[in-house]
Structures are given as structure tokens and as C-alpha cells.
Amino acid sequence: MVERIDGHTILIGLMAYPIRHSMSPTMHNNAFAKLGLNYAYLAFDVTNKELPGAIAAIRSLGMRGSNISMPNKQKVIPLLDKLDPAAEMVGAVNTIVNDNGILTGYTTDGTGFMQSLADENLDIRGEKMTLAGAGGAGTAIAIQAALDGVKEITIFNAQDAQWAQAKKNVATINAQTKCHATLYSLDEQAKLRSEIAESAIYCDATGVGMKPLQEMSLITDSTFFRKDMIVFDTVYAPRETKLMQVAQQAGVAHVFNGLGMMLEQGAQAFKLWTGVAMPVDYIHELLF
């Protein structure tokens, strides 16, 4: 680190609150070191209150950019100059790139999800997906999958605060992509079963299975799944969720937690800032 940082080091931030637990600084700084890139990545406690000043600092300090996480992913949008089309459709930003004072907002959660499947030689383009959840992760996944050519997405959500977002996602996908999206309440268990039966992939983006719900799974009956499908949980702590256990009982061939997505969303941001591919295999080995 001491050898690497000098007067020319380029700063990249992570602006969120709480954020000190994040693995992103370790991930990016190890990748910079491995490739000999003169960048440093630091986490900053930034709430909505500090956000305008923090974004102004990206400009005034000539930072290359920043990751943005909760509670700032939506609030940051009016403070930027441009939005990538996917970020515009998702309505959230997790990565900012500063090109000579022009700040562009991107979202890399969805591309990270799709790339994590590609890393496993899995291609869901032209297929049907059943997706639980329409929060930050669920929205990014649905929009990117639709943009990338997934044929049909059936979204299930609880009739909670995110229901309106789920409706919005379906409307956006149907209006702006070739994918056909439909929404059902998670209460409709028979529908959930029949939609999964027709899908190449079931993805849970609800966080059920993560603390404090680590003993829970939205699906407890292994007969919901087929052996030849993909079951993907965006949760990565714990590494094996209840949903994954149910899928394994069913003998599902491809069962994943959210680690690959987490790594790849970081890799997409890394590429946007540096123009260079993150050494994903090295980081995977080092951190996981």
C-alpha cells in the first residue's frame, strides 16, 4: 500500500451509511495492487444529508468516481450530469464515473447478476425467469435481464412498500424492452409453483434467508424445482441459505448464492473506472 500510494494516486470512493462492513474496499484495492494500477478506493460514511457535498467533492477533488449504496442510490440521481440508460430505467445508481467533470451514473447490480451466470457458462437469454423481489436488487436484475434478452419475467412480490416498485418494473419492461413481464402477489403460491415450473431460472432477491431471516425461505417445498434449472439467491451471508438447501434437496443442477453477483457488480464498476478488467478469479480466491 505504502509503495503504491503517491502524489499521482487516483481516488475512488464508496458513499453510503452504514458502510464500514463493506467488502468493496478490500476487493478493489487488492485488484489495483495486483494489476499495479495507481488507484485507491476508500469508504466514506455518507447519509442523504452529506450527499450533495460528497458529490461536489468528486468534482472538486478530481476523484475518478465512486460507488453509491443505501441510502443514496436514488437520491444521487439529480446531482449527476448523465445517466446510463439501464440506470435510468432502474431509477438507481450504484456507480459514478467522473469524465473530466462530467458525472455519469451507472447501475452494475444487474450486469453483475447476468455476468455471474455467464461465468458459469449459463445463458438465460431467450428463456423465462421467475423473480421474487422488486427492491434495489430485484429491480436491477429484472431490468438488465429484460434488456439482455430474457424472454419472459414473472415477478412475485409481497404486497408491501415495494409493491408499487414491482408494478413500475413490469410497466417499464413491457414498454421499453422486448421482454414480457407479469406481476403476482407472493401469496399466490399455486401461481408461483406453476411459473417456476415453466422457468429456466428462479431468482430470490428479497433478502429472506439473510439475518434476521436466515432460518426462512420463501419456498420450502422442494417439488417446486426441477433438476435442470437454476436457483439463484442474491444473499451471500450466509453462504448457503435455506432456499439453496431446498433447491439442493430437489437435486437442482445450478444453485448459487449472491457472491458471484457481488464480485461481478464490482468488476463492472472497476472496468468503468480503469478501463481494465478486474482479475476476478484472483479476487475470488483471495476473499472467498
Q: Which residues in this chain contact ligand NAD in the complex, by CB under 6 A?
A: 109, 112, 133-138, 157-158, 160, 162, 186, 205-208, 210, 234-236, 258, 261-262, 265
Nearest distance in Å: CB 5, ligand NAD: 28
Of 65 and 138, the one with the shorter C-beta distance to ligand NAD is: 138
Nearest distance in Å: CB 116, ligand NAD: 8
Residue 73 bears catalytic tag: yes
In angstroms, rounded to a whole number, what is the distance separating the alpha carbons of residues 21 and 216?
23
Nearest distance in Å: CB 130, ligand NAD: 14
Spot the catalytic one: 73, 82, 191, 211.
73
Of 69 and 104, the one with the shorter C-beta distance to ligand NAD is: 69
Of 57 and 186, the one with the shorter C-beta distance to ligand NAD is: 186
Exposure letters 206-240 (e unless 16+ CB within 10 A, then b): bbbbbeeeeeebbbeeeebbbeebbbbbbbbeeee
Of 91 and 207, the one with the shorter C-beta distance to ligand NAD is: 207
Please name the residue that has the C-alpha cell 441459505: 241
Nearest distance in Å: CB 36, ligand NAD: 27
The whole-angstrom distance between residue 146's C-alpha and the CA centroid of its chain comes to 15
Question: Could you give the residue numbers annotated as active site?
Answer: 73
